[in-house]
Every structure is written in structure tokens, then in C-alpha cells.
């Protein structure tokens, strides 16, 4: 990784200075910068500290601490447009340290971080996947598939960041603007050829990927979620759209690359009409004729067969015809698989090699992950925590269920309250047995969350409430029959439960495996 220095830093931002201030820049002793950080606790020698005004903390308050720890330069956000680009001198340890104030720094940080790290996204195939549901599965499938054909890959997303099998835990679905570019630079140094990253609506709204050159971008679907942040579905959709929109959009990324869009989603269908260069994916045989007639590249299905080993998908496409054998369950996973398939085809990966390796793709942990032991009910652990995701998960489980269908779920605290009764309605429409339990209550009263959920049931006599999540799963496993399926929804891969402001060690996967006597 090339070393940056304070001279380059000043030159980068001096173009934004008011003309009257450009001659006032003090001569600084130029120092190498090896690290770019947002957290003052990570500052060491040769560090550039970025002081942003955040939702919970104001990074500008930690500038003295950063300097004390060895920062050689400061980027500080300002709310005053008139101070944009102003460079002042801070004195510490007998050195003159430049502090540059930047108006709306958060919006400019992704592009600057890209410059700082040498524009790593231009040297790799970076795929951005957005949508309410399916981001994790699609990114993991893309990375798995690339690995299967000896193209070194990595992922950024909910389950973790890094090469498959070497993931480090993720704090956010989409890392900060600084961390995103830092990860990409690190992957490039390890000769990674393809990076598949989940791009959340938060990440888009906050400009975290604005400076990323994407080789391809993928849209899975859009349904109700994150309204505590976006407030309206219109704003939520606008955030997602910025991954595909023209550069005139304030939040648009540097390059959207190939645009792969799910035609089966009503939002996706609308976007396809707006995008001349869209590549279309549909899992519904009834849509095949329509998508052929649009005159755009496509992958469509003419038959799907569900069986006890997974799914057989017979498809037609502008790339060729064939059959994909998949170990994944459910219609929505057909969509996830085809979106991954289409993306790799659009990037030039060989058609027949992809078709012949599809069966080796493994289900993603915590995403319709199946746990089965003789003489006990089948348990499926899934991350579904929105009404639409729960609907899809239950629909998929029902396809393979010969006994009773159970569901165990709760809702997160300090999040969109409006979806709680909607989750109940979905659960009631599919399941013979329902247990309402805790998810991550956070700082909300767990009983009040459950009351919000219970309000969505047309009758509650058949609904069981067991707040302790482990006990809820235990009760279902002990009372279920061998042919029953129990869907444990909401936490998926997570290995913690947030109660109050504390994280407690907890895993649905581990609880289920222990109850069934399965070794993870």
C-alpha cells in the first residue's frame, strides 16, 4: 500500500479553500500518513484522524486525544460552509500539525478514502448487493462460486468481513466509508480478484460507498424495513436507488457497473423501465415471455422442482439455456441463486463452468439453515426479521413440510414498531403452532414489544408466549413430531442477544444443535 503524506492531504483539500485563504497556508513539515481512522482510540504514530460529528458522539471533541496519541494531521467536519477547506495549525510535541475543516465531510469521505488507499476498487471486481432481504445470501453465493472456479474472493457484510472461512465480525452491514476503502485495499494486497459486498440503505444514505467503483450492482427486493431511520418507504427506496442512479444523484456511486435487477419485485420492475442497461432476473415462469420481449439481457425460469435435497431450476437466458441443481430451499433462494448466477455471467465468468459447479454451493449460515436429527422435528434457523422475509421463509418451509409447521419469532426493540403486528399476521397465515419470544429487546420493555406483536393476531388463544428464547425453542423441539418443521426466525447467524444496553452470548444455531444432539 502506497504511503500518503500531509503534503498530498493539503493539496487534495486546498482546492476547496476560499481563494482569499489559499495564500495563508503555513509551511508544514510534511509527514508520512500510514493510517486513516475515525476512532481516536485507534490513533498511533503517522495517523490521520477524521473527526466527524456523529449521531451519538462528536469526534471533534477527541482531537486533543488524537494528537496526544500521535496523529500527524486532522480532518474536522464543519457545519459552516464558509470554513470549508480552511487549514489551521495545531502545535504539539514541538510540531506543527495541520487541521483541515471540511464542510459535510461525511459525504466526501468515501472518495477521499479511495484516494488515500490508491483507488483499490478500480483494481478488482467489486459487486454491490442491495435490497431488504437476500443481500447476505447473494454476496456469499457470489464469493463461493468465484472460489469454486479458483478466483480468489472476499465478502463485506452482515456475517463478517474477509475471505470466506476467515471472516472477522462486522459491526455494521456496510462498514464506514474509511473502513470500506481500507478493507478493499487490504483485499487487493492479498491478491483478491472479486469482492461481494452488502450495501445497506443506511450505508447508501450516509455516503459510505460513494467513492467505490462497482463492477456490478444487484437489487434483490424492497419491502418494509428501517423506517425508524428513513421514516418513509419513499426515502427508503431513494436510498436503494442511489446505487444504480445517474451520477447527477447526490448520493450516486462513482460507477454502478453492470446492473442486475429482480424483475419479480414491483420496485425492481419499475427500475428496469428506467434503466436502459439493466440485466433482468425472474424466477416466475409466467414472466419468461415478457422479459424476452424487453430486448435486454436476462435470466428467466421455465420450471422449478423442489425436492428433499434442494431445488432443480430449469432456466432460459440470453447467455444460454440449462439446469441448475441447488442445495438451497425455497423460492426466494431460487431468486438469490439466479441473481448471483446472472451477476457472474455479466462479469464474464464462463457459463458452463458456473452451471456445473452450482450444486457445490453451500447454504449460508443462519439463512434457511436446516438442522435434522432422526426421530426429532426438523429445525430451520433463519435471519428473517421483516414481514416479507418471514413470509418467504415460512412459504419455503411449507413447501417441504409434511407435518405441522411451527414458528418462533420476536421483534427487535428500538426499531420500527409498525412491523410488529405485520409479523404476527404473516406467522398466523402459515403456521399451526406459534411461539412469540424475545429477539433483541434492547432498551425497550420486552413485554411491551410482545404486546405490539400480539395486537396483530386475530385470536391469541392458540399463541404461546415464552419470553426466554432458549426455553421457547426447547419447548417446541420437545413437543414437535418427527415430520414437523420448526422455523426459528429473527437472529440467524447472530451470536448475541441485546437486553438493555448489554450484549449477552447467545446463538439460535447453538441452542438448536445442542437440543438435537448435533455437532456444529
Q: What is the mean pLDDT of residues 212-235?
A: 81
For residue 60, what pLDDT is reported?
A: 93
Which secondary-structure segment (H or E) carries 425?
Answer: helix 419-430
Q: What is the mean pLDDT of residues 62-82?
A: 92
Q: E strands along 341-425, which residues?
A: 369-371, 378-382, 405-409
pLDDT band for position 178 (50/70/90)?
A: very high
* For residue 20, pLDDT beyond 60: no
Of 498, 509, 435, 508, nearest to 472 by C-alpha is 435
For residue 26, what pLDDT is reported?
A: 63
Torsion angle, CA of 383/386/389/393, rounded to 10 degrees?
A: 60
For residue 230, what pLDDT is reported?
A: 53
User: Measured between alpha carbons, how far is residue 224 from residues 229, 231, 420, 423, 515 in Å?
Assistant: 12, 11, 11, 11, 33
Percent of the chain, pLDDT > 70?
95
Of the listed ranges 114-128, 245-259, 476-490, the one predicted with least confidence: 245-259
- When the pLDDT of each residue in the chain is averaged and rounded to a whole number, the result is 91
For residue 82, what pLDDT is reported?
A: 83
For residue 350, what pLDDT is reported?
A: 97
Distance CA 78, CA 446 (A): 40
Query: Of 221-235, 290-304, 358-372, which has the strongest mean pLDDT?
Result: 290-304
Torsion angle, CA of 42/47/50/56, rounded to 10 degrees?
A: 10
Give me the CATH code for the 4-103 domain, please. Answer: 3.40.1390.10
Of the listed ranges 109-113, 458-462, 469-473, the one predicted with least confidence: 458-462
pLDDT band for position 12 (50/70/90)?
A: confident
Cα–Cα–Cα angle for 80, 85, 88, rounded to 5 degrees: 95
Whether the CB-CB separation of 66 and 40 falls below 8 Å is answered with yes
* For residue 1, pLDDT beyond 70: no
* For residue 227, pLDDT beyond 60: no
Which CATH architecture describes the domain 112-360? 3-Layer(aba) Sandwich (3.40)
For residue 87, what pLDDT is reported?
A: 86
pLDDT band for position 500 (50/70/90)?
A: very high
Of the listed ranges 4-8, 192-196, 295-299, 515-519, the one predicted with least confidence: 4-8
* For residue 171, pLDDT beyond 70: yes
Whether the CB-CB separation of 394 and 405 falls below 8 Å is answered with yes
For the chain, domain boundaries: 4-103, 112-360, 369-516
Q: What is the mean pLDDT of residues 492-508?
A: 95
For residue 251, what pLDDT is reported?
A: 74
Percent of the chain, pLDDT > 90?
72
Higher pLDDT, 439 or 225: 439
369-516: CATH topology is: 3.90.190
For residue 51, what pLDDT is reported?
A: 95
Q: What is the mean pLDDT of residues 316-324?
A: 97
Residue 304, strand partner residues: 313
What cell does 36 get?
Answer: 486513516
Q: What is the mean pLDDT of residues 370-399?
A: 92
Distance CA 197, CA 142 (A): 10
User: Is this structure's pTM higher than 0.75?
Assistant: yes
Distance CA 141, CA 322 (A): 19
Amino acid at each position: 500500500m502506497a504511503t500518503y503524506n500531509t503534503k498530498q492531504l493539503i493539496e487534495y483539500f486546498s482546492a476547496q479553500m476560499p481563494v482569499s485563504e489559499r495564500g495563508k497556508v503555513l509551511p508544514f513539515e510534511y509527514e508520512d500518513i500510514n493510517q486513516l481512522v475515525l476512532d481516536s482510540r485507534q490513533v498511533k504514530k503517522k495517523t490521520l484522524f477524521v473527526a466527524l460529528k456523529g449521531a451519538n458522539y462528536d469526534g471533534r471533541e477527541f482531537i486533543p486525544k488524537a494528537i496526544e496519541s500521535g496523529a500527524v494531521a486532522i480532518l474536522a467536519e464543519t457545519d459552516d460552509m464558509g470554513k470549508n477547506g480552511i487549514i489551521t495549525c495545531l502545535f504539539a510535541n514541538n510540531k506543527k500539525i495541520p487541521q483541515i475543516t471540511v464542510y459535510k465531510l461525511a459525504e466526501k469521505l468515501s472518495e477521499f478514502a479511495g484516494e488515500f488507499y490508491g483507488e483499490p476498487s478500480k483494481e478488482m471486481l467489486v459487486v454491490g448487493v442491495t435490497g431488504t432481504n437476500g443481500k447476505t445470501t447473494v454476496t456469499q453465493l457470489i464469493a463461493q462460486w468465484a472460489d469454486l472456479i479458483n478466483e480468489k474472493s472476499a465478502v463485506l457484510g452482515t456475517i463478517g468481513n474477509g475471505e470466506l472461512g476467515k471472516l472477522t465480525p462486522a459491526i455494521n452491514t456496510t462498514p464506514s466509508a474509511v473502513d470500506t476503502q481500507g478493507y478493499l485495499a487490504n483485499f487487493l494486497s492479498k491478491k483478491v480478484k472479486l469482492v461481494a459486498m452488502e450495501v445497506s440503505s443506511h450505508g447508501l444514505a450516509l455516503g459510505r460507498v460513494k467513492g467505490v467503483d462497482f463492477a456490478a450492482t444487484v437489487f434483490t427486493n424492497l419491502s418494509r424495513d428501517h423506517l425508524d431511520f428513513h421514516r418513509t418507504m419513499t426515502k427508503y427506496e431513494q436510498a436503494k436507488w442511489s446505487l444504480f442512479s445517474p451520477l447527477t444523484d447526490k448520493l450516486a456511486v462513482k460507477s454502478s457497473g453492470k446492473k442486475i435487477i429482480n424483475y419479480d419485485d414491483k420496485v425492481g420492475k419499475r427500475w428496469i423501465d428506467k434503466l436502459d442497461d439493466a440485466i433482468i432476473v425472474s424466477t416466475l415462469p409466467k414472466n419468461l415471455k415478457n422479459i424476452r420481449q424487453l430486448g435486454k439481457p436476462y435470466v428467466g425460469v421455465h420450471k422449478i422442482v423442489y425436492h428433499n435435497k434442494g431445488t432443480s431450476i430449469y432456466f432460459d437466458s440470453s447467455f444460454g439455456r440449462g439446469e441448475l441443481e441447488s442445495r438451497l430451499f425455497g423460492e426466494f433462494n431460487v431468486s438469490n441463486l439466479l441473481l448471483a448466477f446472472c451477476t457472474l455471467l455479466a462479469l464474464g465468468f464462463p457459463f458452463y463452468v458456473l452451471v456445473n459447479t452450482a450444486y457445490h454451493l453451500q447454504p449460508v449460515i443462519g439463512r434457511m439453515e436446516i438442522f435434522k436429527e432422526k426421530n426429532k422435528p426438523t429445525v430451520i434457523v433463519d435471519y428473517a426479521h421483516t414481514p416479507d422475509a418471514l413470509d418467504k421463509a415460512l412459504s419455503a418451509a411449507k413447501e417441504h413440510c409434511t407435518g405441522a409447521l411451527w414458528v418462533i419469532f420476536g421483534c427487535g426493540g428500538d426499531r420500527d414498531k409498525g412491523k410488529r403486528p405485520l409479523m404476527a399476521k404473516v406467522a398466523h397465515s402459515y403456521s399451526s403452532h406459534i411461539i412469540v419470544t424475545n429477539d433483541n429487546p434492547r432498551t425497550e420493555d420486552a413485554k411491551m414489544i410482545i404486546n405490539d406483536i400480539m395486537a396483530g393476531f386475530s385470536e391469541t388463544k392458540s399463541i404461546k408466549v415464552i419470553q426466554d428464547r432458549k426455553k421457547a425453542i426447547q419447548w417446541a423441539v420437545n413437543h414437535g413430531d418427527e415430520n414437523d418443521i420448526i422455523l426459528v426466525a429473527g437472529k440467524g447467524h447472530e451470536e448475541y442477544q441485546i437486553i438493555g444496553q448489554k450484549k449477552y452470548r447467545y446463538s439460535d444455531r447453538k441452542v438448536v444443535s445442542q437440543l438435537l444432539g448435533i455437532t456444529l
